[in-house]
Structure 1
Amino acid sequence: MKTTKPTTEQSSNYDGLEKMGISELLFNINKEDQSVPLAVEKAIPHINNFVTMTVSRMQLGGRLFYIGAGTSGRLGVLDASECPPTFGVSEDWIIGIIAGGDGALRKAVENAEDDMQQAWKDLIKFNICDKDVLLGIAASGTTPYVLGGLLKAKENGVITGSISCNKNSVLSMNVDYPIELIVGPEFITGSTRMKSGTAQKLALNMISTTVMIQLGRVHGNKMVDMQLSNKKLVIRGIKILMEELGIDKESASVLLKKYKNVRKILEIHKRDSGSQTLKKE
């Protein structure tokens, strides 16, 4: 019986890559990448279902966990780590875990992804419980580390989701909310750090950003809860206050130095029904 290779393992649409010039390589890689957003678009209904459920859980005090190995794990950790400075949330709202631990962020850890038991051991260190949500990320949809964590999580009443880049993967078959991003063969056969990784990054951006907006961490289209951790962000905060309150740069700067949070200033302004009280402080 003939078996079909998973999409992520199918041969590239291009051959003789080493014979191509720089310009041709760049053009062809870019051409392949242009198909990625369309693949993500097709998955929006499934992403919507996962986000809707995640928001409802987090409104009740739950957290969102990401687990993955290799590129997928790194993307999960990256997305989770960007939420506190961007949205001013606690570091335990969205938690990213990679097979092999933090050392695997920079250097591959041999056989880390092959252990079916380790993910759950990593998760229980954070006291994961049935109020939480777990998203497993694996381009192949078969990574043992991710699958083992998802199966154990389901046993313990945790809502589960997955992001994979193959149809009907074993991950998809074993979670509550599967998301499949079918981007086609990679430019370099099997190199899922390319189109698959890009698709996963886009989906994670959509998930965390939409969750944070739904949880009230954005005002209008502005990051009013961002951590003012550098000069660029302080300047951004001043500009937001100038636009929102109709005040000058100096007044905005004084307010930001005093309250150290854009949202807090906007809330005081709303409470006092005008900026005059703030200006006089």
Structure 2
Amino acid sequence: MTSHDLRTELASLTTEAFRPELADIDRLPTLEIARLMNGEDAGVPAAVAAELPRIAAAVDAVADRMTRGGRLVYAGAGTAGRLGVLDASECPPTFNTDPAQVVGLIAGGPDAMVTSVEGAEDSAELARRDLDALKLNAEDSVVGVSASGRTPYAVGAVEHARALGALTVGLACNENSALAAAAEHGIEVVVGPELITGSTRLKAGTAQKLVLNMLSTITMIRLGKTYGNLMVDVRASNEKLRARSRRIVALATGAGDEEIEEALTRTGGEVKHAILALLAGVDGPTAARLLEECDGHLRAALAHAPR
């Protein structure tokens, strides 16, 4: 694509549109600029709401694959890639997932998290190599993320993943995007032109973060990683999380501090096991066996516990 063709394509995108009414924004008082930004951001949830049926369908499809051992892989460039890496990196401490279970790929690799890697987003071949390095298979799910919906790295990732039989989701912020068209599940959250022309780290980035929150969180709920709205698979890797673990057990069981400490000790600090041990009156090994038989779903384990 020539430079002229690219400029023409970008000019047609809602996310790149120029807003002449904001041409003097740099002359406004700081508080007024802040009000403008806040007003712009207020419309993002409504744009996400319009895509909820498609988001829900994508979640159910991803959860189905992950139940069978598949992985969730995000692929994007720039802000979109960083948001995918962020969402993936927060799954292990929040839901006790294996770091290889939810993966974030960013065009240009780890260096691109903090700096621009020249030309990386323009390479569909780079996306194919990154996915091949993961030994992607048909049980996996790949979510391509791109505000414009045309980024070659994200589109290339989805096209390659689909050719391999993997589930594919395309998350964009423009209608009729190449990314959504390439994916089995297309999600287009149209937030409109940015306050600063083309700065898609703003509303588009916020919209992508909200959707990625839903994709990972609701998938983990479907996988039994929560009990009600409690993070019963939380990994207690620091003092704050250890304190949170005790509080979660208390909220789920109503047990006293001594009982909670004893249950956590008996179950090796596993919150879900401790809750089951307290609510069902079983020992640590029995709690572990019941949860294994029920694929980690605490409610199901409680239902199957001896009376």
| TM-score tier after normalising by the smaller chain length | over 0.9
Deviation by residue 1:221-241 (Cα, 9 ceiling, x = unmatched): 100111101211111111122
* Structure 2 spans left out of the alignment, 5+ residues: 1-7, 288-307
8 Å Cα contact 1:239-1:249 kept in structure 2: no
Deviation by residue 1:133-179 (Cα, 9 ceiling, x = unmatched): 11100000000111112112222112211100000011111111000
What does residue 205 of structure 2 align with? 197
SS of 2:169 mapped into structure 1: strand
In structure 2, what residue type is equivalent to 1:174?
Answer: A
Match for residue 239 of structure 1 among 238, 247, 256: 247
- Mean Cα deviation higher: 53-62 or 11-20: 11-20
Deviation by residue 1:65-93 (Cα, 9 ceiling, x = unmatched): 10000000000000011011001111122
How do 1:145-156 residues align onto structure 2 when only pairs under 5 Å count? 145-156=153-164
1:22 aligns with 2:30: yes
How do 1:71-86 residues align onto structure 2 when only pairs under 5 Å count? 71-86=79-94
In structure 1, what residue type is equivalent to 2:257?
Answer: K
Q: TM-score, normalised by structure 2?
A: 0.85
1:60 aligns with 2:68: yes
Match for residue 269 of structure 1 among 268, 271, 278: 278
* Structure 1 spans left out of the alignment, 5+ residues: none
1:7 aligns with 2:14: yes
In structure 1, what residue type is equivalent to 2:199?
Answer: S
8 Å Cα contact 2:17-2:193 kept in structure 1: yes
8 Å Cα contact 2:245-2:271 kept in structure 1: yes
What does residue 112 of structure 1 align with? 120
| Structure with the larger RCO, 1 or 2 (CA within 8 Å, 6+ apart) | 1
What does residue 302 of structure 2 align with? none
- Mean Cα deviation higher: 119-128 or 238-247: 238-247
SS of 1:183 mapped into structure 2: coil
- Mean Cα deviation higher: 36-45 or 170-179: 170-179
- Mean Cα deviation higher: 254-263 or 25-34: 254-263
Q: Distance in 1 between matches of 2:278 and 2:130?
A: 44
- Mean Cα deviation higher: 241-250 or 231-240: 241-250
Q: Distance in 2 between matches of 1:257 and 1:203?
A: 38
In structure 1, what residue type is equivalent to 2:226?
Answer: V
Q: Distance in 2 between matches of 1:150 and 1:273?
A: 46
Identity %: 42
Match for residue 50 of structure 1 among 58, 61, 65: 58
SS of 1:117 mapped into structure 2: helix
Judging changes above 3 Å, is the alpha-carbon distance between structure 1 residues 49 and 243 closer, same or farther for their aligned structure 2 residues?
closer
Deviation by residue 1:180-231 (Cα, 9 ceiling, x = unmatched): 0000000101000000000000000011000000000001110011110121
SS of 2:142 mapped into structure 1: strand
8 Å Cα contact 2:260-2:274 kept in structure 1: no
In structure 2, what residue type is equivalent to 1:139?
Answer: A
What does residue 31 of structure 1 align with? 39
In structure 2, what residue type is equivalent to 1:68?
Answer: G
1:251 shift after superposition? 3.4
Q: Distance in 2 between matches of 1:242 and 1:64?
A: 32
8 Å Cα contact 1:237-1:256 kept in structure 2: no
SS of 1:142 mapped into structure 2: coil
Q: TM-score, normalised by structure 1?
A: 0.93
Q: Distance in 2 between matches of 1:52 and 1:89?
A: 18
1:272 shift after superposition? 2.2
Alignment size in residue pairs? 274
